[in-house]
Copies of this chain bind each other. A is one copy, B any other.
C-alpha cells in the first residue's frame, strides 16, 4: 500500500443501506447529501428488489477530502438510514450534570431509531424529534429523552455511529386519505371527498382497536363546530383530547350561554352583555371548583368537555400566556403540560389537529414519524408548518373547521349505518 492509497483509505467509509431504497427516496437523499457536500462515492454493490415490494440493498464507498469532510457526510447519511458496513458499537458518555449533555450528544429525528449495543440493534423507546438517547445497558434498553429530564450520570448516546434510523416509507394500502394524498396539503382540492376519506381512516382505525387523539383550538367553538366535536367524542371516535384553556372556556361559554366570545352561534347576533360571557363561564367553573364537579352537579350539561367527562375520555388543557382565567384543571406549567400530552400520546395511531398552531406544533414535537397526522386549518401557512415536521404520514386539509367537523360527523354516521346494513 503506497502513501496515496493510504491517505485515500483514511478518508473513506464503506456504508450500506437496505429497504425500499428507491421507492422511499432513501437512496436519492443519500446521493443528494454527498453531492451537496461536494463529496464522492462509488456504488460497490446494488441489489434492487426485482419485484414490487422487494427490499433493495446498496453498498457505497463514500470518499471525503479529509477526515472531517468524511465525517460531515457520514453524519448526514446515517440519519437517512445508512449504516457502516463494519458495524460499530454505539458510543455514549455520562451526562456531566443534571440537564447537561455531553458535548457530542446525538440529537434524534422523529424516525424509528435503533442503537447497536452488545451485538444487537435495540429499538429506542418513545421516539421523538430533537431529543437525546439515554442508554440503560443493564436492561438492554434505550429511551428517547428531552434534555430537561437528563440526570447527572445518565448514559447519553454521542456521535453518529452505531445508530440506525429507519426513514418512513410511503403508505400504499388501505382505503383512507393517506393512500391518495402523500404529505400534501390541499387548497383547491375536493373538500368533501377528502373529508370522506378522513372519516374512513378514523372509522377503520377505531374498528381495528386503534387510538385516535384530537388536538383542537377554540376556533372549533367560534366557527360553530362545538357540537360536532362533542358528537365525535360521544360516539367513541376520540380517545383523548389535547387542547388549551381557551377551547374549554369557550366550550363552557357556549354550553351555558349559547355564545362564543359573545356571539350567539345559533343566529350570528351579538348577545347583550355578551363580552362578559367567557369570563362568566370561567367564574362558573371556579364556583363549581372544577369542570368535573360542574358536570357532576348538572351545571354543565353539554359540549366538548362535558362529553369528555361523561365518556371518560382523557382531556389535557395546557395553559398559555394569553389565557383568561385560566380554568381550574388547566396545567399552567408548560413543562408539566408537555409531559401530560406525552403520556396521552403514547401508542396513538391517528392524530387529528384542528385550528391550533400552538398545540399542534407541540404535539408534532412529541410524535414519532410513524403516527398518522391529519391537520385541518383555514390558514395554509399553519398547515405547511405542521407538515414540515417530516412525518411520513401527515396530510393537510386547508378548509373551514366550521364546515369540516359537521361534514366529518355526517360521513362517520353514514359509515356506521352502512356497517349495520352489512
* CB < 8 Å neighbour of A75 from B41, B269, B272, B359: B272
- List residues of chain B with CB within 8 A of the CB of A195: 403
**Residues of chain B with a CB closer than 8 A to A280's CB:** 103, 105, 107
Q: Are B403 and A263 in contact (CB under 8 A)?
A: no
Q: Are B358 and A322 in contact (CB under 8 A)?
A: yes
| Chain A positions 38 through 54: 1 when the CB is less than 8 Å from some CB of chain B, otherwise 0 | 01111100101111100
Q: Which of B269, B333, B362, B379 interacts with A180 by CB under 8 Å?
A: B269
Whole-angstrom CA separation of A259 from B46 in the bound complex: 36
Q: Which of A344-367 contact B (CB under 8 A)?
A: 357-359, 361-362, 365
User: Residue A18 at the B interface, CB < 8 A?
Assistant: no
A118 at the interface (CB under 8 A from B): no
Main secondary structure of the interface of A (DSSP, over half): mixed
Whether A170 sits at the interface, judged by CB under 8 Å, is yes
Q: Does A411 contact B (CB under 8 A)?
A: no
CB-nearest residue of chain B to A245:
B334
Question: Once the chains are docked, how many angstroms separate the CA of A23 from the CA of B365?
Answer: 30
Q: Which of A1-9, A202-210, A292-300, A313-321 contacts B (4 or more CB under 8 A)?
A: A313-321
Q: Footprint of B on A, CB under 8 Å?
A: 22-25, 27-28, 31-32, 34-37, 39-43, 46, 48-52, 72, 75-76, 79, 96-97, 99-101, 103, 105, 107, 109, 130-132, 146-148, 160, 170, 172, 177, 180-181, 187-195, 197, 219, 222-224, 244, 260, 263, 265-270, 272-273, 275-276, 278-280, 282-283, 286-287, 318-326, 328, 332-338, 341, 357-359, 361-362, 365, 378-381, 384, 398-400, 402-404, 406-407
Sample of 30 A–B contacts (CB below 8 Å)? A23-B31, A25-B25, A36-B172, A72-B272, A72-B273, A105-B283, A130-B275, A131-B279, A147-B283, A147-B286, A188-B223, A190-B223, A191-B400, A192-B406, A193-B224, A193-B265, A193-B266, A193-B267, A193-B268, A319-B335, A321-B334, A321-B341, A321-B358, A322-B358, A324-B365, A326-B334, A332-B335, A332-B336, A380-B380, A400-B404
